[in-house]
């Protein structure tokens, strides 16, 4: 008498995704180019803030470097969440990884779960590294109570929830790596209008409105509320950390991303084919003169 074991396809896909995510994480952390690509931009950012440490801000005893560090941490979460998933999807559509995953039952779901998990863990690691470096290098930061600890990790998790689906949406829409600049250029523009390196209140009202429409400003504001002294709230819009509004905007982006991402990713997976991969490879070779 034989016993048949029924395997839940969804559960199996999630298990596959977990294994894939841990494998991708191990590869990333042991590949010099990947580690350098994650560490170098952050090191440059910290270097700039160290230079700014020699300058004060108004009558505050807090240096410009310390004041801008929380915003840099928030920017890192947004950048890693969006560009991490976007870059993986675009490159894996070009090299055929996604097509190979599609050929296995539940492979596409497992692939997506794995890559999202790997990007999320790497983002958490780099964020915590920035936090530790900031607390060691900059005076005046306040991170000495459970309320602030919980606030920091809560903002970080909500930021990941808002940005990872957004990266998946953009990754589903962009087929060719050469078109990633269409995202990068607006992204850098948002850095300039989101109060990352100077108070957003110094900008014209219409630029303030643009900055507040996107997650980057709210991530920076949330991180500032957990790391800066309460006296620094005076330079914010309305002299308030606006925590309810921050939670509302980031939650709204999360919902939009979770609604759009599954539909666009499903359409993307259906359209994957050998001819599409060959076409992308030919375009890439042409771009590089191969």
C-alpha 58/C-alpha 38 separation (Å) is 33
Q: Is the dihedral of CA 10, 83, 34, 38 positive or negative?
A: negative
Q: Are 126 and 76 in contact (CB under 8 A)?
A: yes
Segment 206-238, tens digit of pLDDT? 999 999 999 999 999 999 999 999 999 999 999
* pLDDT for the residue 100: 83
Q: Would you state the pLDDT for residue 50?
A: 84
The whole-angstrom separation of Cα 163 and Cα 82 is 5
The confidence band for 1, taking pLDDT boundaries of 50, 70 and 90, is very low
Average pLDDT, stretch 156-170? Answer: 95
Assess whether pLDDT exceeds 50 at residue 72. Answer: yes
- Category of 105 on φ-ψ map: left (φ > 0), alpha (ψ -120 to 50) or beta: beta
The pair of structure tokens assigned to 40 is 């170098």
199 has a pLDDT exceeding 80:
yes
Whether the predicted pLDDT of 4 surpasses 60: no
* Highest mean pLDDT out of 28-37, 74-83, 180-189: 74-83
> Which whole-number Å values give the CA distances from 215 to 107, 157, 172, 236, 249, in the listed order?
31, 13, 20, 16, 7
pLDDT at 290: 53
| Predicted pLDDT of residue 7 | 60
Higher pLDDT, 3 or 159: 159
Question: 283: helix, coil or strand?
Answer: helix
Would you state the pLDDT for residue 6?
Answer: 53
Separation between Cα atoms, residue 154 and residue 150, nearest integer Å: 6
**Confidence tier at 205 by pLDDT (50, 70, 90):** very high
Helix 107-137 to helix 64-95 angle (10° resolution) is: 160
Mean pLDDT calculated for residue range 245-249: 96
pTM of the model: 0.89
| Residue, of 48 and 243, whose pLDDT is higher | 243
70 within 8 A of 235, measured Cβ to Cβ: no
* Residue 275 banded pLDDT, cuts 50, 70, 90: confident
């Amino acid at each position: 008498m034989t016993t048949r074991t029924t395997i839940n396809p969804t559960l199996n896909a999630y298990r596959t995704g977990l294994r894939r995510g841990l494998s991708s994480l191990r590869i990333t952390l042991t590949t010099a180019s990947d580690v350098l690509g994650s560490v170098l931009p952050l090191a440059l950012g910290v270097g700039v803030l160290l230079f700014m440490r020699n300058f004060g801000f108004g009558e505050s005893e807090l240096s410009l470097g310390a004041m801008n560090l929380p915003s840099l941490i928030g920017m890192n979460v947004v950048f890693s969440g969006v560009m991490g998933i976007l870059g993986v999807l675009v490159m894996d559509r070009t090299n055929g990884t996604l097509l190979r995953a599609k050929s296995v039952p539940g492979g596409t779901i497992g692939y997506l779960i794995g890559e999202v998990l790997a990007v999320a863990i790497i983002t958490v690691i780099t964020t915590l590294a920035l936090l530790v470096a900031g607390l060691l290098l900059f005076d005046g930061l306040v991170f000495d109570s459970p309320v602030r600890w919980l606030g920091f990790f809560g903002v970080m998790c909500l930021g990941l929830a808002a940005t990872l689906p957004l990266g998946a949406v953009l990754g589903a829409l962009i087929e060719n790596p050469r078109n990633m600049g269409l995202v990068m250029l607006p992204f850098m523009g948002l850095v300039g209008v989101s109060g990352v390196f100077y108070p957003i209140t110094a900008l014209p009202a219409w630029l303030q409105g643009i900055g507040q429409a996107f997650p980057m400003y709210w991530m920076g504001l949330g991180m500032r509320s957990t790391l800066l002294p309460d006296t620094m709230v005076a330079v914010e819009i309305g002299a308030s950390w606006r925590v309810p509004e921050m939670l509302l905007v980031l939650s709204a982006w999360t919902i939009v991303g979770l609604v759009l991402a599954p539909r666009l990713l499903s359409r993307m997976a259906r359209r994957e084919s050998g001819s599409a991969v060959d076409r992308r490879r030919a375009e890439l070779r042409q771009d590089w003169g191969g």
